[in-house]
Amino acid sequence: MDTRFFRSTKHYELDCQQLHYYFSGNGALNSQKLVEVMVHRKINEYKVICQTYNAMYGQDLLHTLSSLAQRNNNPFARAGYLRMCESHVRDAEIMRKSLMEGSLNLNTLIEVACTRSSYDLICIKHTYRSRYNSDLDREVYTKINGGYKEILLAVLKSCRNYNGKADTSMAMCDAKTLYEAIESGRTIDQTAILSLISHRNTCQLRSIFSSYKHLYGHEFSRSIKKRPKCGQFGAQLRIAIRCVQFPERFFAKLLRMKSGDSRELLIRVVICRSGIDLKCIDRVFAAKTGSCMESLVRREFSGFNCRNKVGDMAVSSLLVALIRG
């Protein structure tokens, strides 16, 4: 392992001390230092921190964060857990909870399945099987009904073809296939559309949608919206396409709508999209609302909404730091 990006063991021990002070309520807690740990460490460093924490305190750090988040509804612990987890582990757990806990959360399932790369989806599915001894595709098949089930299964199958760059010539042909699927016949050809999605990776799908606009002068999702015959399947398909094609618009809209647990959504979007397209999401959000995501964070975790002063202040500082980059 390349050690150039790692600091001395003493530095990681100090990181663990600050985390332990926060969990235990004992010792001189430095909130600024606590936020620094969560913002300025790489994923490989978090692995070292977890190992060091276990050696120092005999506890699993990720388990401690997860338990604190669930037991005390602690937003900083939740943000810290998501931040320190490997992305495919985090996403597999999010999908598991969306499928198995309480009411089915279709929005979150679509969010993860349709905004991750095809390679990411392969890692998520492997992790899901190893952690839960279950097949993600099978869970989706048995738990979900209607058009969303077919769309999600098609997207999950598409990751089998993650290798290679986008083929623009193929994309043009596929764009014509999509056009025929919605324009010819009295009903939309769902089979042709789902088959195409299931056999193209995320990168290729974006190229197909771009080619569609080049050929026909407007987005494929707009064509669906204009055709009443597309019905509910069309409405559900448009959401999935928006996730794949313009994830920054999808996430900005989620934040504007604030459906469900708005705090959890805000934490999840900022943590999961940090280093990917968080700046783009912030720009789209600001363009639609006239207010930046930083202001949204401060409103959500301060003043009237403040529930846990120390935890709320810490998570606010963490999310703002990630948004600013």
Point out the annotated binding site for Ca(2+): 23, 25, 27, 258, 260, 300
225: tokens are 């919206």
Binding site membership: which residues?
23, 25, 27, 258, 260, 300
Quote the CA–CA distance of 263 and 173 in Å, as a whole number.
Answer: 43
Buried/exposed code over 107-136 (b: 16+ C-beta within 10 A; e: otherwise) = ebbbbbbbbbebebbbbbbebbeeebeeeb
Quote the CA–CA distance of 35 and 76 in Å, as a whole number.
Answer: 9
In order, the DSSP letters of 130-195 are HHHSS-HHHHHHHH--SHHHHHHHHHHHHGGG--S---HHHHHHHHHHHHHHHHSSSS--HHHHHH
Quote the CA–CA distance of 25 and 16 in Å, as a whole number.
Answer: 14
